[in-house]
Amino acid sequence: MSDELLSLTAAEQARRIESGEVSAAEAFDYWRGRAASDDLGAYLWVADEAPGDAGSFPPIAVKDLFCVKGVPSMAGSRILEGYRPPYTATSVENLQNAGIQVLGKTNQDEFAMGSSNENSGFGPVQNPWDRTRVPGGSSGGSAAAVAAGTAPWAIGTDTGGSIRQPASLCGIVGMKPTYGAVSRYGMIAFASSLDQCGPLTRDVTDAAILLSHLQGRDPCDSTSLGIEGGVALPTAERLDGLRFGIWGMEEPGLEPGVAEQVRATLAKIEELGGSVEPIELPNAGHGIAAYYVIAPAEASANLARYDGVRYGPRAAANGDLTALYEETRHDGFGEEVRRRIMIGTYALSSGYYEAYYGTAQKVRTRIAQDFAAAFEKVDFVVSPTSATVAFKLGERTQDPLAMYLSDYYTVPMPLAGIPAISIPCGLSEGLPVGFQIAGPAFSEARILDAAHALEKEIAFDGVPVR
Amino acid sequence: MIDRDQVLHVAKLARLQLSDEEVDRMAGELSKILEHVETMNELDLEEVEPTSHVVDLTNVLRDDVPRPSLPREVALEQAPDATESGFRVPTPGAS
């Protein structure tokens, strides 16, 4: 198979498969070879061979934390080393049923806790644009693989920005759907009230195709609703009559080069007939504070199950059951995961619950109200996806709080449960800049349409060395 | 501020062993993070209802229809130590 497929989007490859120019098995083998050649640390596992039915699309790279039957699924953690689940996540099963097969499992921050992929139990991932920089996180492997052309497309999960921020730092498209659009069944849980599965792709059309197959109500996840009417392929080329509220341009941490690309994108919105006005989200600045109570609190409960009894390695404790739990958890969890378990346990402990968790859930209400008020005035809220371009490996690892602030622009949306997409909008210092478009709950089709029109106008054609 | 004793108490609740050095580092890091978290208190939240769920959903129920669950041997397959009928663990002990 020639490198001809490399330059095509997944949708274009699917058309060649449909027309018989390329067989699905050939496409699978081509991508298997690409994935096997990865030298960025993006993959934790690559399929040996095409499944019996190679499907009707090119295959997909799947973030490690999705359970896939018989395939290592470790959520990037040593505490699940060697774990091969007995069942497959509904989201992945939906893709398989649509003819999209699993190509490999991608590296990630351990249990999706991180913004740089440096918290993986299996080593960091390099950004294909500059190998001394991070790809973002936590879906860093998925983003790096798509950008580097070792996967045609990928899925990840977003809890506080874990799809959109790495998509931004790697120059690709990433979308977090409305909470409840996609089933969480079989996704190894981090923070259950925030986690959502979504696509990381070359372009907006590929993201729409994946979302159309991922979404749906699932009896195994009582919080899943699906997207009513499904997800149509985006066709819009204009933005006439649409109102865009721009938020967060006055933040002190916003890099001038990023701000410049975002402003240029706002001008393109106007060229396409849309209008742009500043919008206030008065409580969004407190998003990180609320998030770093809610997410660790939920994580501390979700991660209680890793105790060396039912799966994963067990510490050789010479004591009673408690010693076995404590040592297994000490040895198996990385530093950041331990830190979050501690924050969460503290925030939920007797006497502190109301002051931390209760307060954070009120801030969350305020942020949702901010968005609701904004959507009275505008159709979409837009902003940079990340205040900075990809930062250097090691640059923020010594300061957990500085790392947490990487998610400033992406945290408010999951707190409010609403969907948002990041699309590449240009380069700053030779590195990709992401533009974020958020809309009301279940407005995915409208967001994808707007992103599609804007993507055509931006015509971002940057690719790293492949 | 979080002190050593509080770190040790929370670590016990979380069933997490920490070395002496880790306890000290954790005390510093948690204090710094919580200091940022406490900026939430600048807001007037008197009349605000806490979010319980982001999407408007109430009591999602399904029919109670039995379906097959994981066979026991499959459920035990991934365990570090299992017998034919269950997970094997050391004595619960006194703590």
DSSP class per residue in A411-434 = SHHHHHT--EEEEEEEEETTEEEE
Tell me the pLDDT tens digit for each residue of A92-124.
Answer: 999 999 999 999 999 999 999 999 999 999 999
Number of neighbours of residue A270 by Cβ within 10 angstroms: 12
B17 found inside a domain: yes
pLDDT of residue A463: 86
In chain B, which residue's Cα lies nearest the Cα of A304?
B14
For residue A351, what are the domain limits?
Answer: 284-360
Provide the number of structural domains found in chain B: 1
Percent of chain A with pLDDT over 90: 93
Shortest alpha-carbon distance between residue B68 and chain A (Å): 13
| CATH number for the domain that contains residue B33 | 1.10.20.60
With 80 as the cut, is the pLDDT of residue A88 above it? yes
Task: Give pLDDT tens digits for A62-87.
Answer: 999 999 999 999 999 999 999 999 99
User: Tens digit of pLDDT for each residue in A234-274?
Assistant: 999 999 999 999 999 999 899 999 999 999 999 999 999 99
Specify if A216 maps to a domain: yes
Q: Which residue in the set B26, B75, B89 is minimally distant from A339, CB to CB?
A: B26
Nearest CB neighbour to B50, from listed A83, A346, A365: A365
Q: Which positions in chain A touch B6 (Cβ < 8 Å)? A: 346
Q: Residue B31: inside a domain, yes or no? A: yes
Q: Quick one: pLDDT at residue A1?
A: 54
| Contact assignment for A322 to B93 by CB distance below 8 Å | yes
| The pLDDT of residue B95 is above 70 | no
Total beta-carbon pairs less than 8 A apart between chain A and chain B: 172
Residue A237 lies in a domain: yes
Query: Considering the entire predicted model, what is its pTM?
Result: 0.97
Q: Chain A: nearest CA to B91, how far in angstroms?
A: 5
- B65 domain residue, yes or no: no
Does B51 reside within a domain?
Answer: no
pLDDT in tens, A155-204: 999 999 999 999 999 999 999 999 999 999 999 999 999 999 999 999 99
Q: What is the pLDDT of residue A17?
A: 96
- Return the residue in A182, A362, A364 with the most chain B beta carbons within 10 A, the one to mutate for interface testing: A362
Q: What is the CATH number of the domain that holds A448?
A: 3.90.1300.10
Looking at residue A99, its amino acid is G
Two tokens, residue A27: 């496409």
Chain centroid to CA A172: how far? Answer: 11
Q: Quote the number of domains for chain A.
A: 2
Same domain? A22 vs A99: yes
Query: Parallel, antiparallel, or unpaired: how do β-strands A275-278 and A243-246 relate?
Result: parallel
Whether B9 has a pLDDT exceeding 80, the answer reads: yes
**Predicted local distance difference test score (pLDDT) of residue A2:** 62
Q: Is residue B79 part of a domain?
A: no
Contacting A residues, span 370-409, partner chain B, CB-CB under 8 Å: 400-401, 404
pLDDT single digits (tens) A325-338: 999 999 999 999 99
Query: Domain ends where: A326, A360, A394?
Result: A360
Domain match, A321 and A234 both: no
Domain presence at residue A200:
yes
The answer to whether residues A61 and A173 belong to one domain is yes
Is A19 designated active site?
no
Smallest CA–CA distance, residue A410 to chain B, in Å, is 16
Q: Decide if A270 is inside a domain.
A: no
Compute CA distances A92 → A9, A332, A441, A463, whole Å: 20, 26, 23, 27
On whether both A338 and A423 belong to a single domain, the answer is: no
Does any domain span residue A209?
Answer: yes
Residues 29-58 of chain B whose Cβ lies under 8 A from any Cβ of chain A:
29-30, 32-34, 36-43, 45, 48-55, 57
- Determine what percent of chain B is predicted with pLDDT higher than 70: 98
Chain B residues close to A321, C-beta within 8 Å: 89-93
- A289: which 2 tokens? 């504070």
pLDDT in tens, A401-410: 888 888 999 9
Write down which residue in A329, A360, A391 finishes a domain.
Answer: A360
Residues of chain B positioned with their CB less than 8 A from the CB of A323: 90, 93
pLDDT confidence tier of residue A316, bands split at 50, 70 and 90: confident
Q: 3-state class of A201 per DSSP? A: strand
Residue from A77, A162, A224, A428 carrying the catalytic annotation:
A162
Domain co-membership, A292 together with A330:
yes
Exactly one of A115, A138, A139, A422 is catalytic; which is it? A138
B19 falls within a domain = yes
Give the pLDDT band (50/70/90) at residue B94: low
| CB atoms closer than 10 angstroms to residue A380 | 27
**Could you read off the pLDDT of A421-439 as tens digits, one per residue?**
999 999 999 999 999 999 9
pLDDT classification of A286: cutoffs 50, 70, 90: very high
Say whether A437 sits in a helix, a strand or coil.
strand
Residues on chain B touching A338 (C-beta within 8 angstroms): 16, 18, 22, 26
To the nearest whole Å, the CA of A188 is away from the closest chain B CA by 16
H or E element in which residue A277 lies:
strand A275-278
Contacts of B86 in chain A (CB under 8 A): none
Same domain, A59 and A130: yes
Which residue range forms the structural domain that includes residue B10?
1-40
ipTM above 0.90, yes or no: yes
DSSP string for A158-190: ESSSTTHHHHHHHTSEEEEPPTTSB--TTBPPS
Average pLDDT over chain B reads 91
Q: Is residue A373 part of a domain?
A: no
CA closest to B88 among chain A residues: A309
Task: Compute the mean pLDDT over every residue in chain A, rounded to the nearest whole number.
Answer: 96
Answer yes or no: A162 catalytic.
yes
**Nearest CA to CA, how far is A160 from chain B (Å)?**
14
Residue tagged 């663990």 (tokens) = B89
- Same structural domain, A180 and A295: no
CB contact (8 A) between residue B2 and residue A317 = no
Identify the three-state secondary structure at position A63. strand
Say if residue A348 is in the same domain as residue A438.
no
Among A302, A330, A360, the domain-final residue is A360
For Cα atoms A218, A222, A227, give the angle at the middle one, nearest 5 degrees: 55
